[in-house]
Amino acid sequence: MLKTTIAGSLPKPAWLATPGTLWAPWLLEGRALDEGKRDAVVLALRDQEEAGIDIVTDGEQTRRHFVWGFVERIEGVDFSRMVTIGIRADRYQAEVPTVVGPVRRRGPIHSDEVRDWGIAALDRAVEGLTCRTAVHICYGYGIKANIEWKRTLGGEWRQYEQTFPLLARSRIGGVSLECANSRVPIGLIGLLGDKDVLVGAIDVAAPEVETPAAVAAVIRAALQHVKPAQIYPCTNCGMVPLPREVARAKLRALGAGAELVRRELA
Ligand code: ZN
């Protein structure tokens, strides 16, 4: 019961990619890169095991980033005109699209996607799988731009009131959601039916390490709306932008907080 896990990424070792940087370029090449990625996965697994995390992940040590799909739907960005530029004070080169006019978000980029074929695509993705499955709903890493964007979302984030009933009817096994310091009303998880809920109890946008008691409080709030057997205490999102020591301490807090509630339930 209350098996802990994490949402996606962990910081990469400094010998593999530049620390504190999103979609940081690889610092190795060829076979050395393949081997380095595998080594980094082993380290990520070990950090999680030492922290008492029950369901471990690869910490996304083998991929760079996922941002492209979103940017492609933003007005004013032309993907047919790719250029290579130096970024992060010219520390490295990246291939990027060209901004050709005012940059504007035309509207929700994925919501019609979700309704018309997104859930069907999700079902297809898990078709035939016999393992447990889950999907992560992302409010973004804890970088400055995301933190400022969240301030514009208002007091209550109810965007998932429409999506959760759709997910409840899907074949996906569970949903991973930001709950720590989030303004998503926790009661919305009740709309997920019998799905597993990976309750984000670690804020990845703050360097302060949660106490086990704070983690436990988030889990207890979730327990008001879904059964204990459905809950998997988790991180809000990936921790890749954080210093590794902070990420390790947060993993330990997650393990310890879940243990507190596990004991109460026992
Ligand atoms: Zn996320």
Instruction: Give the pLDDT confidence of 23-37 residue by residue, as tens digits.
Output: 677 899 889 999 999
- Same domain? 80 vs 116: no
Q: How many domains does the chain have?
A: 2
Q: What is the pLDDT of residue 18?
A: 86
- Pair 235, 182: CB distance under 8 Å: no
- Same domain? 181 vs 261: yes
Q: Which domain holds residue 158?
A: 109-265
pLDDT tens per residue across span 222-237: 999 999 999 999 999 9
- Same domain? 93 vs 151: no
Distance 266 CA to ligand 1 centre (A): 31
Distance 236 CA to ligand 1 centre (A): 7
Q: What is the pLDDT of residue 71?
A: 76
Distance 29 CA to ligand 1 centre (A): 28
Tell me which H or E stretch contains 98: strand 92-105
- Same domain? 96 vs 142: no
Distance 242 CA to ligand 1 centre (A): 14
What span, in angstroms and rounded, lies between the C-alpha atoms of 103 and 77? Answer: 7
What span, in angstroms and rounded, lies between the C-alpha atoms of 150 and 145? Answer: 9
Distance 60 CA to ligand 1 centre (A): 12
- Same domain? 99 vs 115: no
- Same domain? 129 vs 255: yes
Q: The domain that contains 229 carries what CATH number?
A: 3.20.20.210
Which residues make beta-bridge pairs with 197? 175, 231
229 within domain boundaries: yes
What span, in angstroms and rounded, lies between the C-alpha atoms of 12 and 266? Answer: 37
Tokens describing residue 262: 């596990």
Residue owning tokens 């990246």 = 94
- Same domain? 141 vs 86: no
Distance 245 CA to ligand 1 centre (A): 20
Distance 64 CA to ligand 1 centre (A): 14
Q: Which residue has the higher pLDDT, 177 or 106?
A: 177
pTM higher than the cut 0.85: no
DSSP 78: E
How far out from the chain centre does Cα 71 lie?
Answer: 18
- Same domain? 260 vs 142: yes
- Same domain? 212 vs 87: no
What span, in angstroms and rounded, lies between the C-alpha atoms of 137 and 256? Answer: 24
What span, in angstroms and rounded, lies between the C-alpha atoms of 83 and 21? Answer: 20
